């Protein structure tokens, strides 16, 4: 016969809840360990920003805000430029055009019913003053051919090489008549744009002298008909020669 104390101890042990006696099951231990690991990872991720100083956080927030605002403004301007005419585009036409032209102008001629069927090269020459004071005129330099040479076999050509000169010339012809007279408010801007491109291509010093003036022309020739076509196309080259433009030191900066 057991002593009363032993029986009381056994009864107390038997009445204890199962989850308070013995080690936890292996599944419960794995879950607890996983939760702890995820908590540690989350704390570590948050710690990357929390470890920054107050100044760094402010700079980061301002940079994100500036990029966001800039992207929103750019998208809004481009949308208003390409969208059908509406109240906003009419009211802010000057601001929109000032932002879009000439760098972000949209051109859809590739998808037009009558796409371009001619090759047009922009060429330029310079008047150079030699150290002895004499003026010498260079030969015509095909700037378009130089751009094409840089683009050919280049898997990632730059936007400048592909479009800068071509769009600048298109901008000029759109704002000038056949007599090279400006037909709109943007004529002077178009002329300055072409002039600065040519000046940068030549540089202030050329052939042992200083560049004084530059002259630009276009050489345009229609694309010939395919061999199977009976269409007769004039493929001769036609030139449009612009007047001489004086350059200043600011044009080379």
- C-beta pairs of 68-74 under 8 Å, 24+ apart in sequence: 74/104
pLDDT of residue 104: 81
Residue 17 has pLDDT above 80, yes or no: no
- What is the average pLDDT value for the chain, to the nearest integer? 83
Look at strands 205-206 and 141-142 and give their pairing: unpaired
pLDDT of residue 102: 73
Both tokens of 35, joined, read 């939760």
- Which range is least confidently modeled, 4-8, 54-58, 157-161? 4-8
pLDDT of residue 18: 46
Using a 10 angstrom Cβ sphere, with 0-12 exposed, 13-18 middle and 19 or more buried, the burial of residue 190 is: buried
DSSP state of 83: S
Q: Is this model's pTM higher than 0.75 or not?
A: no
Q: Is there a contact between 81 and 101 (Cβ–Cβ < 8 Å)? A: no
Q: For residue 87, give Cα distances in angstroms to 95, 98, 114, 214.
A: 14, 18, 31, 43
DSSP state of 160: I
Residue 38 has pLDDT above 70, yes or no: no
Grade residue 84 by pLDDT with cuts at 50, 70 and 90: confident
In this structure, the number of other CB atoms found within 10 A of the CB of residue 218 comes to 18
Residue 21 has pLDDT above 70, yes or no: no
Q: 74 Cβ partners below 8 Å, 6+ apart? A: 104
In whole angstroms, what is the distance from residue 248 CA to residue 253 CA?
Answer: 10
Kindly provide the b/e burial profile for residues 105-115, where b requires at least 16 CB atoms within 10 angstroms of the residue's own CB. Answer: eeeeeeeeeee
Averaged over 221-242, what is the pLDDT?
92
Both tokens of 242, joined, read 């612009």
Give the CA angle between residues 151, 153, 154 to the nearest 5°.
Answer: 55
């Amino acid at each position: 016969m057991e002593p009363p104390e032993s029986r009381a101890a056994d009864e107390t042990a038997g009445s204890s809840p199962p989850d308070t006696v013995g080690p936890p099951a292996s599944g419960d231990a794995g879950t607890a360990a996983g939760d702890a690991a995820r908590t540690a990872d989350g704390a570590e991720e948050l710690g990357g920003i929390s470890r920054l100083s107050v100044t760094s956080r402010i700079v980061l927030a301002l940079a994100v805000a500036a990029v966001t605002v800039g992207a929103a403004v750019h998208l809004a301007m481009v949308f208003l430029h390409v969208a059908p005419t509406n109240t906003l585009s009419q009211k802010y036409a000057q601001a929109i055009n000032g932002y879009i032209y000439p760098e972000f102008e949209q051109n859809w001629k590739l998808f037009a019913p009558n796409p371009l069927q001619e090759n047009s090269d922009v060429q330029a020459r310079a008047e150079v003053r030699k150290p002895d004071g004499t003026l010498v005129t260079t030969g015509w330099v095909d700037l378009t051919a130089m751009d094409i040479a840089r683009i050919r076999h280049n898997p990632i050509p730059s936007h400048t090489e592909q479009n800068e000169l071509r769009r600048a010339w298109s901008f000029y012809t759109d704002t000038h008549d056949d007599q090279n007279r400006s037909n709109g408010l943007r004529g002077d801007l178009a002329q300055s744009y072409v002039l600065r491109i040519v000046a940068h291509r030549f540089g202030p010093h050329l052939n042992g002298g200083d560049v004084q003036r530059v002259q630009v022309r276009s050489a345009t020739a229609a694309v010939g008909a395919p061999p199977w076509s009976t269409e007769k196309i004039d493929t001769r080259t036609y030139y449009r020669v612009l007047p001489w433009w004086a350059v200043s030191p600011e044009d080379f900066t």
